[in-house]
Structure 1
């Protein structure tokens, strides 16, 4: 039988803000802008803004449900209670799978950064990092939250540093031919960069561990989305203003290359550090959030009791954390396009299910 212990309510609105911010800021800003720019030109800033609006709709739907039913598993719990256990259990497994793949992609990026700077074997680094994040999550949600607060604070400072200095080199000239490929490309690219905000919609999976879900969840998630949308749009605009169009369109490190034009080597290092921290925060938040799906499925008897047994001292679902962490560590070596595409498809599917639940 599962343990009778309940998940510890340790998370505040600040913890939620940092978990949500960390779950969003990753390859969506450090890798995707160049690829997205190639699709739609300078109007990519509108695509990022529209994607933020689309995520806001999903966020409000999710918050409506999460504050009324603050249970572990987030949208799995809502869907299973609204659309039935069969649809709910399928959605729960798919959401766990999607979030795990997104976290694996972040772990891959982090291992690649370490290999680039230190020359260490990427696969071994990935295994070690996976073990470290598993141990951290086993220590308890409050330790994860505190770790996330420190990392996100440093990450936001570096991004603010880039924006501050980049603003002195901003020019409207690169924006004169604003939508060279037409308005339809702006909308299509908004769907492409939607994944840049995707981590936000999975934060309600930890709702059962929030001290005051009705107050702390909305404050943390809304604040995180507004912050990240502002950062994304501003940083992409600076990259457009400081890089030649051809170079930006072909770059997989657009923010780093942009920083090098007005900050030199210190800028390259600073943005490299920010990207590394972003991968850390995404992987860390991903292991925590994904494990709660397995926990919720187990408490509803769709998975063995092993997944819902809680540590008496920390209130952590040990089995769920270990299995999620091992899976994320194992699949990080899959093709990166497969990881991103699969994660995005399931993310949009779960987004639609949450909207249906509100209507029902």
Structure 2
């Protein structure tokens, strides 16, 4: 089963930007400011550099293996089914955990605006977006472009209106918690800016993937870095960094300083729109990873089915949305954020190992026809070292939750392997008896 190539550069860039601009910029920016102070902008620059380094490596892998599944597909192709299954399961878990605080955030902000039940609103969002994704990725991509354009306009307006109200005395001291605070905030910034990888997850649906994927990854990261830097500059310039760090609604608090009481309402409207785009991108990534794992036997083969009319993996979408709803109902936001960090970093580390294996196997002729990361092996090696170093601030609870998720994946893999062996044994016995 294969998917239809319908997404161009604009759709791919909006998909990546929509996944990155959401819960992170509006919620986790306050957490990062509380760690690094005004130097939080530097933290996000460090995070963006890592994202770009990883993005370049992913782009090379995507041009070599232009199939759905992203990190799972790369690990599966280079390190075998067991490692591939665990990395796919880890990556899938990271997106599922992240989707729970995105959908909950949508429900909470919609409740503050309209009084609608937050949990019901979160579930309805997932159901509507799931149905939209089953109708076709092209329609989903068009909706994504519209939402992302609204986000960009509003965030640019936030910077333009707030710039004249900045109090530069609030930038001193610039790094109150030193380098430790900057690096801790860089991990939060890294998680806030993750999302461009949804582009490679949908690599099988990209037109001219060797050109479209690298351009879309770089475009989305640069766009989001500019938006984040502008928002953080204004936020830390109108509200003291400690107050931002203690606030659950940091952007709304900052907007109140120069827009008055209407500021939080306007920001809440934008957040509801932004989280819709984020949730939509998450569904695309979750379903395509499940589709790839279903196609290779980790999940039942039905999960790898593509509907002939809509050309979408309908059962993979249904599976993903069902578990997203379950996570939304039972998960804790704090544990979800920490587990997301560990599982994401683990996925990136093993993808970088896949990158080095893939580059070693590829011939010079193959590399000349595909996108290649410049300054090899320095840039990929730097990305791998930074990823490993960011495991330190994850903390014990995040690692523990992530290891439990990996253990569940190992059990499923073992069970599926026994099922397949039993199936092939019966088929062999059946053919033998017929002969």
Shift of 1:127: 2.1
- The CA distance in 2 between the partners of 1:32 and 1:302, in whole Å, is 34
Shift of 1:354: 1.4
User: What's 2:200 paired with?
Assistant: 204
Tell me, yes or no, if the aligned pair for 2:100 and 2:333 is still in contact at 8 Å. no
Unaligned runs of 5+ in 2: 358-435
Tell me, yes or no, if the aligned pair for 1:158 and 1:270 is still in contact at 8 Å. no
- The CA distance in 2 between the partners of 1:179 and 1:128, in whole Å, is 42
User: What's 1:77 paired with?
Assistant: 73
Question: 1:310-325 to 2 correspondence within 5 Å?
Answer: 310-325=306-321
User: What's 1:352 paired with?
Assistant: 349
Shift of 1:249: 2.6
Shift of 1:309: 1.2
User: What's 2:304 paired with?
Assistant: 308
What whole-Å deviation, never above 9, does each CA across 1:295-332 have from its counterpart, x for those lacking one?
A: 11121122211101111111101110001011111211
User: What's 1:221 paired with?
Assistant: 217
Tell me, yes or no, if the aligned pair for 1:58 and 1:201 is still in contact at 8 Å. no
Shift of 1:289: 1.1
Match of 2:156 among 160, 178, 182: 160
Tell me, yes or no, if the aligned pair for 1:105 and 1:339 is still in contact at 8 Å. yes
- The CA distance in 2 between the partners of 1:11 and 1:113, in whole Å, is 31
- The CA distance in 1 between the partners of 2:188 and 2:147, in whole Å, is 27
User: Normalised by the size of structure 1, how large is the TM-score?
Assistant: 0.95
Change (3 A) 1:302 1:248: closer
Shift of 1:40: 1.9
Shift of 1:104: 2.1
User: Normalised by the size of structure 2, how large is the TM-score?
Assistant: 0.79
The secondary structure found in structure 2 opposite 1:328 is helix
Q: Are 1:120 and 2:116 counterparts?
A: yes
Q: Are 1:36 and 2:53 counterparts?
A: no
Match of 1:249 among 238, 245, 252: 245
> Where does structure 1 differ by over 4 angstroms across 4 or more consecutive aligned residues?
none
Tell me, yes or no, if the aligned pair for 1:78 and 1:354 is still in contact at 8 Å. yes
Question: 1:1-80 to 2 correspondence within 5 Å?
Answer: 4=1, 6-80=2-76
Shift of 1:94: 1.5
Tell me, yes or no, if the aligned pair for 2:113 and 2:265 is still in contact at 8 Å. no
User: What's 1:187 paired with?
Assistant: 183
Tell me, yes or no, if the aligned pair for 1:200 and 1:225 is still in contact at 8 Å. yes
Shift of 1:138: 0.4
Rg comparison, structure with higher value: 2
User: What's 1:108 paired with?
Assistant: 104
Deviates more, 1:240-249 or 1:312-321: 240-249
What whole-Å deviation, never above 9, does each CA across 1:16-73 have from its counterpart, x for those lacking one?
A: 1111011011221111222222222111111111111111111111111001111000
User: What's 2:286 paired with?
Assistant: 290
- The CA distance in 1 between the partners of 2:281 and 2:103, in whole Å, is 11
Q: Whose RCO is larger (CA < 8 A, sep 6+)?
A: 1
Matched length? 356
- The CA distance in 1 between the partners of 2:344 and 2:156, in whole Å, is 29
